[in-house]
Chain A
Amino acid sequence: MIPVIIGVSAVVFFLIRSIPGDPALILLGEHSSEEAVAKIREQLGLDKPKIVQFFYFLLNIAKGDFGRSFTTNELVVTEIAKHFPATIELTICSMIFGSIVGLVLGVTAATYRNSIIDYLTTVVSVTGVSMPIFWLGLMAIILFSIKLPLFPISGRLDPTITFRGRTGLIILDSLLQGNLTVFKDAIHHIFLPALCLGTIPLASIARMTRSSMLDVLNQDFIRTAKAKGLPSRKVIYTHALRNALIPVVTVMGLQFGSLLGGAVLTETIFAWPGIGRLSVEAIDARNYPVIQGCIIFFAFIFVIINLLVDILYAFIDPRIRYE
C-alpha cells in the first residue's frame, strides 16, 4: 500500500509540475516584479532541483500539508476536510442503493434463470454500464425536478435551513441530534444524485451477483441443502448467497473507485459541494495545490478501500487467512 501511495504522489507531483505556467506568477499575477516572483519561488521551494522538491513534497504529504489554496488561501487539507463529508455521504448513499438493488436483482435473476426478471437484469446491467452519468443526471433533473417538481435541483439542504453537525455528514448528524426536519430535507436533496451515481455500482453488482450465484447454485452442497428439505429462501440466502459474495465484494470495492470518479461528474451536475466539484473548479482555476491535494486524496481513499475489501474477504469466507 505504501509503495502505491508513494507512486501516486510521484505521478501527481511530476504531472502537476508539467502544467504550463509558473505557479509563482499565477499566485502573484502577470504584472508582478521579478523580485517578488523570485521570493515566492524561494518560499514555495520552486528554486530547488525537482528531486529535492519531490522529497519535500513527500515529507509534507506525510505531515498532511498540501500547501494553501491559490484562490482562498486556506490550507488545502482544510478545504478537503470541508468538502469530503459531502462526497462520502453521496458515495455511501449511492453504494447502499446500488448494492441493495444490484444484489436483489442478481439473486432473483440467477434463481429464476431465463425468466423476464433475468432478461430485465441483463438489460439493466448493460444499460447502466453504458449510460453517461452526466446525461442521466440531467434527464433526472428534467423529469423529477422540472416536469414533476418532486426533488430539488441542487445542494445538500434547503438554503433556508441552517444546520451544524459534528461529522459534516448531514444525514447522520441530523439523526444523532434527532432533527427530523433536517434529516428529511437531506434525504430529499440526496435522493436524485445518489440514484444517478448508484447506477454505476448497481449494474456491475447485479451482473456479478447473477453469474456468481449461477456458479454456486450448481454446486453439490446446494443440492444437499435442497435434498435435506430446507426452505428455498434459506438455501438461496444462507447457503448460496454467502458463498457467492466473494467476487461480488471485489466488484463492490472496485466500484467504489468508479463511484469516486462518477462523483466528479454527478457533483458538477447537482452542484453538490464535494471534492469532485472542488477538483473541477481547481482545474478550471489552475489552483495547483488543490488539484494535487484532491487527486492524491482520491487515490488514497481508493487504496484504503481496496485494503478494506481484502480484510472483508476473511470475514465473508473464513477459509481465507492472511499470514
Chain B
Amino acid sequence: MRRLFKVFRNKAALAGLLTILFFIFIAVFAEFIAPYSPYEQNLADRLQPPSKSHFLGTDDLGRDILSRIIYGARISLAIGLISVALALGIGVSAGLVSAYYGGIVDTLLMRLFDVMLAFPTILLAMAIMAVLGPDLENAMIAVGIVNIPTFARIVRASALIVKEQEYVMAAQALGQSNSKIIFRHILPNIVGPITVQVTLSYGGSILNAAGLGFLGMGAQPPTPEWGAMLSQARSFIISAPWTVTFPGIAIFLSVLGFNILGDGLRDFLDPRLR
C-alpha cells in the first residue's frame, strides 16, 4: 500500500486524484453545496446568463445550471461505478476462467469478446439501449456490457503469465482447489493492470453514458445528467451558449481526472510504457 502511494509523486496522477476527490466531494455534499434544487423551475428567470444569483446561468426552464451540474456529479459517478462494477465482475471472472482452464472455454469466450469488440462502443451501447429502453439504469447496464471484453482480455493476458509461475504450480502440486488457486494466487497478482483498467474505464464509462444521454438514449429529462443537459441545451446554442458550455466542461474534467490518474498508475506499474 505504501508503495502504491509513491504513484502520487507523479504530479499529473496527483492532479487526477484531486479532481476525482473534488467530484466525489460535490456529489456527496450536493444538498449543502448546490444553491438551488436541480429540478426547481423558474420561468421568469429562463436562459439567464451567468450572474451573481446564478453563477453558471439558467437553462430554458429557469433551472440553475450550477445546481444541476453539482447533482449531475452524483449521477455520472454512479454511472461509472455501476458500469465498471458490472464489467469488472463479469470481465474478470471470464478472463480468469479463460486463462486458467484454456481449451474450448477459452476459445469460445475469446471469440465472443472478439465479436463484441468488432462493434464501435457507442453503437453497441445504442443497440443494447434499443432493447432495454431509454433509461438511466439501462444506460449503466449498456455501458457496463460494452466494457466487459476489455477487462476480460486484460485479465486473461495477465493471468496467462501468472499461471506459469512456480508458486502457482506449487499450489497445484499441493492439491489446492482450482477456485482457491484462481482467487488466492492468481487474482492478487494481477491487481495492478486491473486497477489501471478500472480507472481508465471509469472515465470512458462517464463519456459513453454522457454520449447516450446526449442522443436521448440515456437519462431522461428532468434528470440532471450532464449528457442529457447538453442534449436539451442544443436548441439554445445561439441564444444561450452557456447552457451547453458548462455541462461539457464538467464531463471533460471528470473524465480527464480518471484518465490522468489511470495513466499515472500505468506508468508507475509498468515504467516501460512511459
Residues on A facing B (Cβ under 8 Å): 3-4, 7-8, 10-12, 15-16, 18-20, 126-127, 129-136, 138-139, 141-142, 146, 211, 257-258, 260-262, 264-265, 268, 279-280, 283-284, 286, 291, 294-295, 298-299, 302-303
Contacts and interface: CB of A to CB of B under 8 A. Distances in A.
Contact of A265 (B111, B122, B251): B122
A127 B230 contact: no
A260 B123 contact: yes
B230 A134 contact: yes
Contacts of A294: 123
A298 B123 contact: yes
Q: What DSSP secondary structure best describes chain A's contact surface?
A: helix
A134 B259 contact: no
Given A131-B252, A211-B273, A142 B112 contact: no
A303 to B, nearest CB: 5
B123 A264 contact: yes
Contacts of B129: 283
B259 A126 contact: yes
Given A7-B112, A146-B237, A303 B128 contact: no
Nearest to A302: B118
B126 A279 contact: yes
Interface stretch (B21-29, B38-46, B241-249): B241-249
Contacts of A261: 120-123
B49 interface: no
B214 A7 contact: no
7 contacts: A7-B114, A11-B119, A18-B131, A134-B214, A261-B122, A264-B122, A264-B126
Given A146-B237, A146-B238, A8 B126 contact: no
B180 to A, nearest CB: 34
A167 to B, nearest CB: 24
Nearest to A300: B118
A146 B239 CA distance: 10
A8 B122 contact: no
Contacts, number: 134
B128 A15 contact: yes
Contacts of A11: 115-116, 119
Given A15-B128, A126-B256, A264-B126, 9 more contacts: A8-B115, A15-B130, A126-B12, A132-B214, A138-B237, A139-B244, A142-B244, A291-B127, A294-B123
A289 to B, nearest CB: 13
A20 B255 CA distance: 33
Contact of B130 (A134, A257, A291): A291
Contacts of B47: none
A40 B196 CA distance: 52
